[in-house]
């Protein structure tokens, strides 16, 4: 591989990594407008409970995500194989979902170890997901004990909308 090829592959891998982190942010901030920028318009997503196009996936998320008080998607190892304007990726993720307790039961965290198996395509110079399959490796549920650990009441907590500090911090 020439140094030019290595530089191109590194730039392409960085662009793909940016798409993956944008996906996590869009899900965790419940930002469906941002989520659309992650997928090609004709993309297919197999999320287990949903299989289909991006419009249907967004409808699915608008129904499912409000069930959670908060979510966090931590991305880990990523493997990329390039074939011209196509990249096959495997990305490890731990997804945390806080679920409110009902009828006096405590809140609980649903934690899932999963992998995103993606086909990225570069179209008109831009990488996006063309096809995605979620692979679940493990999951568990844990009761929440001491949810805020005695933090100051002035602590800024995250939000699941565009009022989250990430959208305005340092931009005021």
Nearest to 9 by CA among 124, 131, 90, 122: 122
Q: Residue 6 pLDDT > 70, yes or no?
A: yes
Contact 29, 161 (CB under 8 A): yes
pLDDT in tens, 102-129: 887 788 999 999 999 999 999 999 999 9
Residue whose structure tokens are 């901030």: 29
Query: Domains in the chain, start-ordered, CATH in brackets?
Result: 3-145 (3.10.450.50)
**Tens digit of pLDDT for each residue in 57-100?**
999 999 999 999 999 999 999 999 999 999 999 999 999 999 98
pLDDT score for 38: 99
Burial label, 77 (beta-carbon count in 10 A; 0-12, 13-18, 19+): exposed
Q: Is 48 helix (H, G, I), strand (E, B) or coil?
A: coil
Reading the block at residue 99, the tokens are 């679920």
Beta bridge mates, 89: 80, 118
**DSSP label of 66:** G
């Amino acid at each position: 591989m020439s140094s030019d090829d290595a530089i191109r592959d590194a730039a392409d891998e960085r662009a793909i990594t940016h798409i993956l982190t944008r996906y996590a942010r869009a899900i965790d901030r419940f930002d469906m407008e941002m989520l659309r920028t992650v997928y090609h318009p004709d993309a297919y997503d197999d999320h287990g409970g949903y299989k289909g196009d991006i419009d249907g996936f967004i409808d699915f998320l608008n129904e499912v995500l409000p069930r959670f008080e908060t979510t966090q998607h931590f991305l880990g190892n990523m493997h990329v194989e390039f074939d011209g304007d196509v990249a096959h990726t495997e990305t490890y993720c731990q997804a945390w979902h806080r679920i409110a307790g009902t009828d006096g039961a405590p809140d609980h965290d649903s934690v899932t170890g999963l992998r995103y198996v993606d086909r990225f395509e570069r179209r008109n110079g831009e990488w996006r997901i063309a096809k995605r399959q979620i692979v679940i490796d493990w999951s568990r549920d844990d009761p929440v004990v001491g949810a805020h650990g005695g933090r100051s009441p002035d602590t800024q907590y995250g939000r699941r909308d565009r009022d989250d500090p990430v959208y305005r911090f340092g931009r005021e």
